[in-house]
Chain A
């Protein structure tokens, strides 16, 4: 059975082949939907940089529309990095400050809201802007959530996890990094600490309580290979971390399934009638 020191190697990808497949995915989805291209939020982080790069490979730069959507407390470094990515790719980009919309609600209605609620609101504000811009441009919303954060539920439901298509959803975080390096995404973006930038100083790993390297390996062993938590711990992973990952994976499953519909008839949507889309 697999040893801990073998897991990292098993998570390696043939990066050129992965890029070819994911590029084809974006091209096919845009063609099938007969849309003009894609829109995406460029945060300055590695996930959206990779999604944008793949989209440029698929569609060319002029059909990839990037939006920088900072809140007034967002780090200026994030915006700089987002601009660096857009400049590097040569894609049209536009900044829309979400502070007035977010503040209007909290100031008038919910002045005592905690940072978590404010962060969720910001994520959903960005989502509504992206879908509106997609409508305006006849484009699709390109998702940027990776497999690690989807499995951990580390996202805002109907916020950053909402999209028309997501090329990164089956890539663990380290595979995002591997592919990003392969595709020449600027090092300042690939090498920095991941952060949702929802409040000053926030880092993903600080908030989660473990690092992505560990999370990827534990999730791979359980989700992809079917090991039980005790079998993961027996391979040398910290019990506290494994328990926390198990809890997160179970707690946030609802974010991975759309529309919980109460079934009354014998032909309920998605239960009795699973109608695929091409």
Chain B
């Protein structure tokens, strides 16, 4: 029996970004795209708002791009046969702004996810500057359909669940998650993220890749710690703390089916349970 390829090489570009400097960040992306292509990456993932930096505040409206902008077209062309997920400030036809992820494929945008949950508490101010997305769709990732989520979206686990139930075998999570440390061996922020991604990979029985950025913005640091989680929740690769890094991992989407035969959680999912009132 002929076997179609279910394996792909994922690259997580754990980069730093210059705040508000789209042109400079495009150049950085081009360099990482070239490196990743040299390493045979099939799907390259950049962090949340990787083209603009995260803490934009009133710079947000100065750095927005449409999904069909020349900047994104240039990156898509450079990607060649490789698929790329990156983060940018998206402006729609009505001039509304979104914290979006775009999948670039075959020379152009193949999927856009607008962040659904905009954190506006603590140091986060996203609802002041962004509109919230309204749709959750599967993305045509290499190897099959998958999901793309942005940072806070992972804190509302029904989104990952819905994607998995709809057929996603790989969840791509891009993030600009600030670091916090305490007494623990790992940063507190890393413990929290690994709890989220590992429980998602366990309960949704799928691959989860998490790409977080590094660097500093106005006194707040991004620790990196990007990682790849196998279906079932085991971390197979983890990028270093605080350093720019291209983390690559070979993942077999067939592992999802193999686990689901043993652990049919999604097949058992019930949608007919009533209550609580």
Contact = CB atoms under 8 A, between A and B. Distances in A.
B57 A275 contact: yes
B182 to A, nearest CB: 7
Interface stretch (A22-30, A40-48, A145-153, A199-207): A22-30
Nearest to B218: A276
Interface string B183-213: 1110100000000000000000000000000
Interface in A1-50: 9-10, 12-14, 17-18, 20-21, 24-25, 28-29, 32
A77 interface: no
Contact of A25 (B21, B58, B216): B216
A278 interface: yes
A9 B183 CA distance: 9
Contact of A21 (B18, B215, B221): B221
Contacts of A24: 216, 221, 242
Nearest to A9: B183
B163 to A, nearest CB: 33
B242 A277 contact: no
B58 to A, nearest CB: 5
In this complex, the interface size class of chain B, counting residues with CB under 8 Å from chain A, is: 20 to 34
Interface string A239-278: 0000000000000000000000000000000001111111
A276 B20 CA distance: 9
Interface string B216-256: 11110101000000000000000001100000000000000
Nearest to B16: A28
Contacts of A29: 216
Instruction: Name the 4 nearest CB pairs between A and B, nearest first.
Output: A278-B19, A274-B57, A12-B183, A28-B216
Interface of A: 9-10, 12-14, 17-18, 20-21, 24-25, 28-29, 32, 272-278
Interface of B: 18-21, 53, 55-59, 179, 181-185, 187, 215-219, 221, 223, 241-242
Given A13-B183, A29-B216, 4 more contacts: A14-B181, A20-B241, A275-B58, A276-B218
